[in-house]
Structure 1
Amino acid sequence: MKIINLGENNTIINQYMAEIRDKDYQQNRLLFRNNITRIGELEAYELSKTLDYTEREVQTPLGVSKINVPTDKIVLATIFRAGLPFHGGFLNIFDHAGNGFVSAFREYTDEDKTQVGIHIEYLATPEIEDKTLIIADPMLATGGSMELGYKAFLSKGTPKRIHVACVIATPEGIEHISSVFPEDKTTIWCAAIDPGMNEHKYIVPGFGDAGDLCYGDKL
Structure 2
Amino acid sequence: MRTHAVSHPLVDHKLTQLRRVETPSNTFRDLTRELVSLLGYEASSSLPTEDAQIETPVTQMVGTRLAGPKPLVVPILRAGLGMLDGMTAMIPTAEVGFLGMARDEETLDIVTYAERLPDDLTGRHVFVLDPMLATGGTLVEAIRFLERAGAAKITCICLLAAPEGIKRLEDEVGDRDIELFVAAIDQKLNEKAYIVPGLGDAGDRLYGLAE
Render the CA deviation track for 1:5-40: whole Å, top value 9, x for unaligned: 00xx34211110010111112xx1111011111111
Aligned AA for 1:24?
E
Q: Distance in 1 between matches of 2:123 and 2:3?
A: 22
Match of 1:144 among 137, 143, 150: 137
- TM-score of the two chains, using structure 1 as the length reference: 0.88
> In structure 2, what is the equivalent of residue 87 of structure 1?
84
RMSD of equivalent CA atoms: 1.7
Aligned AA for 2:145?
A
Q: Distance in 1 between matches of 2:36 and 2:110?
A: 24
Q: Distance in 1 between matches of 2:181 and 2:175?
A: 14
Match of 1:13 among 11, 17, 42: 11
Match of 2:121 among 124, 128, 150: 128
Q: Distance in 1 between matches of 2:111 and 2:158?
A: 20
Check the 8 A contact 2:143/2:154 in 1, yes or no: no
Give the SS at the match of 1:158: coil
> In structure 2, what is the equivalent of residue 100 of structure 1?
97
Match of 1:78 among 75, 79, 83: 75
Check the 8 A contact 2:135/2:168 in 1, yes or no: yes
Matched, 1:205 2:202: no
> In structure 2, what is the equivalent of residue 112 of structure 1?
none
Alignment of structure 1 residues 159-178 onto 2, 5 Å: 159-178=151-170
Check the 8 A contact 1:16/1:35 in 2, yes or no: yes
- TM-score of the two chains, using structure 2 as the length reference: 0.91
Q: Distance in 2 between matches of 1:150 and 1:2?
A: 14
Shift of 1:61: 4.5
Shift of 1:86: 1.1
Q: Distance in 2 between matches of 1:4 and 1:207?
A: 20
Shift of 1:180: 2.5
> In structure 2, what is the equivalent of residue 68 of structure 1?
64
> In structure 2, what is the equivalent of residue 39 of structure 1?
35
> In structure 2, what is the equivalent of residue 23 of structure 1?
21
Render the CA deviation track for 1:71-114: whole Å, top value 9, x for unaligned: 253111111111112122111111111111111112223xxxxx
Shift of 1:182: 5.4
Aligned AA for 2:39?
E
Check the 8 A contact 1:34/1:85 in 2, yes or no: no
Q: Distance in 1 between matches of 2:109 and 2:43?
A: 31
Comparing 136-145 and 62-71, the one that deviates more:
62-71
Shift of 1:183: 2.6
Q: Distance in 1 between matches of 2:54 and 2:174?
A: 37
Comparing 57-66 and 72-81, the one that deviates more:
57-66
Structure 2 gap ranges (5+)? none
Percent of aligned positions that are identical = 27
Q: Distance in 2 between matches of 1:95 and 1:167?
A: 21
Q: Distance in 2 between matches of 1:85 and 1:92?
A: 13
Matched, 1:2 2:7: no
